[in-house]
Amino acid sequence: MKEIKIKGVNEVVYEHTLKNGLKVYIWKYNLSEEINISLTVKYGSIHTHFKVDNSEYSVPNGTAHFLEHIKFNEANNVTAHDYFYKLGSYVNAYTTYDHTTYEVMCSNQVKDNLEHLLYFVLNPYFTKGLIQKEKPIIVEEAKMTLNNPYNIGYNALQNNLYIESNKRFLVTGMPEEIRKITIEDVTNVFNNYYHPKNMVLIVTGNVNPYEVEKIVNEYFSDKDFGKYHNPQIISNKEPNDVVKKHDEISTVVTKEKLLKSFKIPKKNLKVYSDLYLRVLFTIVMDINFGSTSLFKEEIITNKLVDDIYYLVNVEDDHVIITFEVSSSYPNEISNKIEEKMGHLECDEDEFVRKNRVLIASTILDYEDAVDVNNDIRASILKYNKVIDNMRDVFTKLTCEDGKKIIKLIKKYQSVEVVLKPNK
């Protein structure tokens, strides 16, 4: 196995690649009472149109999530939940825009837990009867999503923000889209994407890395998954424009909520890698909108908001910054955020202090097996490798870099959705 030494924290992540292409990452943490096992498929809700060899395929929105649900079914009318329940383990799964993850949390019987996770995810068990049986259940889940006022708001925000990206659609799909999913759609996605070469297995916690390696090698020793055809996602380039700048929705909230996103083109920002952009934008936004910023102090002191959160996402063509604000004065807060975004600042002392906080946070992650599992997964999905020098990344960036990106983000579009209480 390859040892990846994480600089600055004296930790080692073990990497092992099987002949079938599966990448395995293991982090040993003796102080953990639990073992976290996750198997991630690089296939998510936005991957509805793809090309395999010389053929193109399209599946309905919601297919990735639908497949995640029915994968828990096994032959003889049993489920993976039944198996893990008998072991005293916790099993779950979730689907995002770009991946699907199946995870198990246990405290012992590593071999049984690991092997059955691999078994139920990698073995297809699909019948027309099963497809039809699951549809009403998943349709109800989609309806529950649509009945949640915050989901309604975020769905509207995404629909107004994106013109081409499939991120404007619900991960679950709409009820009418779910009803269109066929056994052919499910089988097509499984055959093309649920291949070990398109997966990442991560094991963190109180384990012996060499024991895990042995278990995985032996499990796959007599299994042939055939050739991986490397399906290519077909998508249109996302333009810089937005669909609609302002929307108001009356729903079942007790107080107004503002959801506001800024769509910043990456064209002028490509002097920095995605990793550097994420760090720089995180620090700059924290300086200007964070818990110790003058901006937040002012709006809290004046009782304009109950609280304010923001999130930075670095995507293929844009950096998306999204604010969530609970306030009785959504229009006033929106204007203040807009004004501040046009006059961002980068103070040297603040930059250094925020940078140190991020470094400390990175170190603290290695005190929790769940956090490390999540961090490894995010690193692989975003950068196709485990980032072993995050401390170097932080220390290399300076306030001058922060000032540089501020100068480069003068052109952007913004959209907002205001959730208002029903009258």
Q: Please report the domains of the chain, with CATH numbers, ordered by start residue.
A: 2-233 (3.30.830.10), 246-421 (3.30.830.10)
What pLDDT digit, counting tens, does each position of 71-100 carry?
A: 999 988 899 999 999 999 999 999 999 999
At 385, the pLDDT band (50, 70, 90 cuts) reads: very high
**Backbone phi, psi, residue 66, to 5°:** -60, -45
Task: Calculate mean pLDDT across residues 204-210.
Answer: 95
What pLDDT digit, counting tens, does each position of 230-276 carry?
A: 999 999 999 999 999 999 999 988 889 999 999 999 998 989 999 99
Q: Which of 224, 171, 158, 165 has the alpha carbon at shortest distance from 196?
A: 224
SS in 3 state form for 273-304?
CHHHHHHHHHHHHHHHHCCCCHHHHHHHHCCC
Q: For residue 224, what pLDDT is reported?
A: 93
- pTM of the full structure: 0.94
Q: Positive or negative, the Cα torsion across 347, 353, 357, 359? A: positive
At 361, the pLDDT band (50, 70, 90 cuts) reads: confident
Residue 398 scores a pLDDT above 80:
yes
Q: With beta carbons less than 8 A apart as the criterion, state whether 340 and 287 touch.
A: no
Residue 283 scores a pLDDT above 90:
yes
Q: For residue 127, what pLDDT is reported?
A: 92
H or E element: which one contains 313?
strand 307-314
